[in-house]
Structure 1
């Protein structure tokens, strides 16, 4: 029996304000990089996951049609709920105790993210497993690092690696949070207290496409890959 998820939550609801005029007529996941929407690059990273749900909010029509064509369920948010609130809002459709969560503003060069996480996932000791990449294989990222992976695999706040936007998370970690709109950072902070948040290192390259300059950087990365 597989002990890793077969369900994924794909975050598509944000307004994409950092993309400036590029999101004037489309949601960020529909911005094209190397001739394909950003959301398709994200979907490549969970290719073996059968049950996929995406949240929508800003200019949803074209994105909903695109996702439905790919067999992905959608759930509309009347107001933005951030990542944690969006995940909890989608739980009735996800119908899973453990899920992948996937951001849609990055491009990858290397193995499938879900494979790396699935191989490292240990539900006996983990409530969350975040995929990170060391700074020397990060492209287009404007900020500092997010985490360090400790020798035993647990995560600590630090600057050595960047969160790639893909993780495995037990959905009961959302229990007891009163806020309707909240970030998954709130969940992670609670898991730091219980020592049940772990990290896995992505062996390939990763590019942040959360800002316009990231598009050209990502396309160069993909061109080099081929």
Structure 2
């Protein structure tokens, strides 16, 4: 499968870290966030990286060139910051089959392979990794509304009053049907074309959507404190930080990785 990575963001909330670089090149543990993304996708046997770039795109192109770890890179230019659904559409001409999608501001150590497997096994039009977050943080994400059986009925992008604390994590697989859905999306109150709205259209049109509960950890690097948290987790996995140097939530995330690996 090809892997599309959305890396066009400015990272306004990450200032001053983004004063002289795009969000995707902010370093976590001495390496750009985008490198962490590409490493995760490389482990999933991505056959090509399609990087959607925009703000300071020349810095990203200059850093990565035309390949990463032997996997070719194609660049798609999002000329205006009009939302994730709009960003996905900029990659359409480079994708002709099922593909992986990752938001380029996330650092993962999670069961991404299960999402890819679910896409194939269910012949789904979309599969994505979901996790529960503290209720006060849910409005930062695409929120999944479920029924009593846990089936996803609706997804809502950054709601003011979330109906659920189950959110999408920034890793998905899609069939090309997502492109048609993205074209049908109307601009939100924020003036953007939201990816959760496109997924919601797939759900309501009867398409097969699979959700995979996250095991492990991921950090959405939206603020400087998120970057610091990602660095602590990466360093702890290498044994450079003791478990007692992490907070309770971070300890639980590392434990879930260990449990998942033991289950394998």
* TM-score with structure 2 setting the length: 0.72
Q: Which structure would you say has the larger Rg?
A: 2
With over 3 angstroms needed to count, the CA separation of the structure-2 counterparts of 1:221 and 1:20, relative to structure 1, is: same
CA–CA separation in structure 2 for the residues paired with 1:33 and 1:204: 18
Structure 2: unaligned runs, 5 residues or longer: 156-162, 239-264
- Helix, strand or coil at the partner of 1:14: coil
Q: Please list the CA deviations of residues 146-198 of structure 1 after superposition, one character each: whole Å capped at 9, or x if unmatched.
A: 23677877424553433220101122233252769622122111123126222
Evaluate the alpha carbon distance shift between residue 13 and residue 62 of structure 1 in structure 2; reply closer, same or farther with a 3 A threshold: same
Match of 1:51 in 2: 48
Greater helix fraction, Structure 1 or Structure 2? 2
CA 1:124/1:91 → structure 2, altered by over 3 Å: closer, same or farther? same
Q: Work out which structure has the larger RCO, using CA pairs closer than 8 Å and 6 or more positions apart in sequence.
A: 1
Is 1:204 aligned to 2:216, yes or no? yes
What residue ranges of structure 1 are gaps of 5+ in the alignment?
Answer: 1-5
Please give the per-residue CA displacement for 1:72-102, whole angstroms capped at 9, x wherever unaligned: 11122222242211221221122x2321111
Structure 1 residue 161 corresponds to structure 2 residue 166? yes
| CA RMSD in angstroms, aligned pairs only | 2.6
**1:225–1:148 Cα change, 3 Å:** farther
Look up the match of 2:28: 33
